Amino acid sequence: MTKICVFGAGAIGGYIGARLAMKGEAEVSLVARGAHLAAMQANGLTLRQAGETQLVRPRVTDDPRTLGPQDFIILAIKAHGVQGIIGDLMPLIGSDTAILFAQNGLPWWYFHGIGGPLEGTRLESVDPGGEIWNRLGPERAIGSVVWQAAELEAPGVVAHHYGDRMPIGEPTGEKSARASLLSGLLTAAGIKSPVRPNLRNEIWLKLWGNLSFNPVSVLTGGTLVDLATDPGTRRVIRVMMEEARAVAMALGVSFAVDAEERMEMAAKVGAHRTSMLQDVEAGRPTELEALLGVVIELAGIVKIGTPSLQLVYDLCKFRCRRA
């Protein structure tokens, strides 16, 4: 049976782990910590979804050394936390272990398998010193785009709010055996995970909203619907999105929707406070580099000016540092 470890079994990781455990087609283990870990060890993991409550009891630990090498690791911690847990991942990694990165933002492996003159380019904003690239290796990476929203209601209790799509893809674009296997397991568990030949387009589609709405929410305190409907914030977000689109298109990315449609996608989510705003208010590190800093770094690579992105980044970085 395929062995899958969900490392970082909080809201999204807990949701993925619970769905896989319920289906029972893989041997699922979860790595968590603190009160959430203790609650799952004592009472199992409760998933609330679509008006139903389900309880699963996968293997749960805070010590990856007890689990041994896995076929797949689903890494569901925020991008800025990866360098700090590389050592903890090592006991889970065998010769053929693949790592699915279930994270927001532009990934550290972006220029692996892309071909052309930028092949192998390292991104300092999301992988300082190339530590992830050097120690984990981009050949292990499988990308994903997480469109679900979930929250940790209480220790041991995950509530899924919306979304059932999590497309995945190899950095090379190939439909590999390992990607097809993982896609089948996730889809059978109720998480729509087709293998995309060009996942980078969908990464940018989600990033397009996150790089603009999230930092502006930190500066204003507004919800998604607030920011999308206020004329002033909507104007700022549109300019940010157009600057970012120029960078993406210079890298060969195409967008399935225009800026107005992407803003409407955000507005339909409603009175949602972005995760970045919640992190700032809680005094936690944020995803600013993975969502916006990295786009400014890319703009330097392709030699495109992004004055609005830089302005919002500088203000947001100050706000995050003060928090």
Q: DSSP E strands: which ranges in the chain?
A: 3-7, 27-31, 45-49, 52-56, 59-61, 70-75, 93-101, 141-144, 149-154, 157-162, 168-169
**Nearest by Cα to 216 from 204, 229, 203:** 229
Region of 105 (left: φ > 0; alpha: ψ -120 to 50; beta: rest) is left
C-alpha separations of 43 from 90, 109, 291 in Å: 28, 37, 36
Q: Are 266 and 223 in contact (CB under 8 A)?
A: no
Whether 217 and 274 have beta carbons less than 8 Å apart is answered as yes
Q: What are the residues whose beta carbons fall under 8 Å from the beta carbon of 66, sequence distance 6 or more?
A: none
**What one-character DSSP code corresponds to residue 271?**
S
Residue positions annotated with a catalytic role: 206
Phi, psi of 77 (to 5 degrees): -110, 160
